[in-house]
């Protein structure tokens, strides 16, 4: 996700200093005009706005607060935009530590996967001060087609957790429904044409059904990453004493798929959980 986002910023005229724990993306971005940094602290020292895109909460904590981390070069007026999908309470913890150095933070997770990152068409959910959000809005507009400030730091993360519940449960519902139709002998292409403009239609269906019926599951967003997000959902929900029974079932579907060796497939392959139960595949007629 981070590499195509960085490329879009470079193509829009922004000067970048880049750091990554593996060097191949850095090499590619350096070839496109970015300056290398060998630590997160070095990148921060050379930048006014720092953007992080990392797998999970512990990774963000390490890169921001750890040895050679962003906080080591924190100065008043610098801004961290964390675009990772992590636990909102961790975002709030990090923001509080940076505030001690008079450094600002926005949490700004995204939806749209790698295709959205490449096209600059991500949906961006932002938490943080209104003034800082407005200051960073030109950057967000390069990266996304939808940018909404939903509240203070942590609100972006809470919004992303809600998004991930809805996306995964949509795919699961599509899996059940289209497996039923397949078993009844209905062409899934015709079913899609019949229902996608009605109340059952969704962006999820529009994005995933054409790939599912062609059996194309190369990852835009991997099942194992969606499982990480759902784990964060349930951990956060427990802290807020909020029961999420459907999401709890979903976590089990994802765990079963990963045990079945499907963790690196696109999350559209959630339908394969239901296909396996019914001994059928959703595929177009030949």
**175-209 CB burial, b ≥16 within 10 A, e <16:** bebbbebbeeeeebeebbeebeeeeeebebbebbb
- Strand stretches in the chain, DSSP E: 17-18, 35-36, 49-52, 79-82, 104-107, 110-111, 122-127, 144-151
CA distances from 279 to 33, 113, 174, 252 (A): 51, 29, 16, 19
The CA radius of gyration of the chain, in Å to the nearest whole number, is 20
Closest CA to 217 of 286, 166, 266: 266
Does 160 participate in catalysis according to the annotation?
yes
3-state secondary structure 94-152: HHHHHHCCCCEEEECCEECHHHHHHHCCEEEEEECCHHHHHHHHHHHHHHEEEEEEEEC
Closest CA to 86 of 58, 106, 63: 58
Q: Which residue has the tokens 């943080």?
A: 128
For residue 65, count other CB atoms closer than 10 A to its CB.
Answer: 15
For residue 31, count other CB atoms closer than 10 A to its CB.
Answer: 8
Closest CA to 126 of 89, 99, 94, 151: 151
- Which listed residue (3, 160, 208, 228) is catalytic? 160
Closest CA to 267 of 100, 112, 92: 112
Q: Which residue has the tokens 């765990």?
A: 255
What amino acid positions are annotated as catalytic residues?
160
């Amino acid at each position: 996700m981070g590499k195509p986002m960085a490329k879009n910023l470079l193509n829009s005229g922004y000067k970048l200093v880049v750091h990554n724990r593996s060097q191949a993306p850095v090499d590619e971005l350096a070839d496109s005009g970015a300056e290398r940094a060998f630590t997160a602290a070095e990148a921060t020292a050379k930048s006014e706005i720092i953007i992080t895109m990392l797998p999970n909460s512990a990774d963000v904590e390490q890169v921001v607060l750890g040895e050679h981390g962003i906080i080591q070069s924190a100065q008043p007026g610098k801004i961290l935009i964390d675009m990772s999908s992590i636990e909102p309470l961790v975002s709030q913890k990090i923001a509080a530590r940076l505030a001690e150095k008079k450094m600002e933070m926005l949490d700004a997770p995204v939806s749209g996967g790698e295709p959205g990152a490449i096209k600059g068409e991500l949906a961006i959910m932002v938490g943080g001060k209104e003034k800082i959000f407005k200051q960073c809005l030109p950057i967000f507009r390069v990266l996304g087609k939808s940018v909404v400030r939903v509240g203070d730091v942590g609100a972006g993360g809470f919004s992303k957790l809600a998004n991930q519940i809805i996306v995964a449960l949509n795919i699961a519902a599509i899996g059940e429904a289209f497996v039923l139709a397949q078993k009844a002998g209905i062409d899934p292409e015709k079913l899609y044409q019949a229902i996608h403009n009605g109340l059952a239609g969704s962006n999820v269906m529009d994005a995933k059904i054409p790939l599912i019926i062609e059996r194309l599951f190369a990852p835009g967003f991997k099942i194992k990453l969606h499982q990480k997000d759902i784990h964060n959902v349930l951990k956060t929900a427990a802290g807020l004493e909020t029961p999420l029974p459907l999401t709890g079932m979903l976590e089990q579907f994802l765990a079963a798929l990963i045990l079945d060796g499907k963790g690196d497939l696109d999350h559209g392959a959630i339908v394969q959980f239901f296909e396996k139960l019914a001994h059928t595949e959703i595929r177009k007629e030949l």
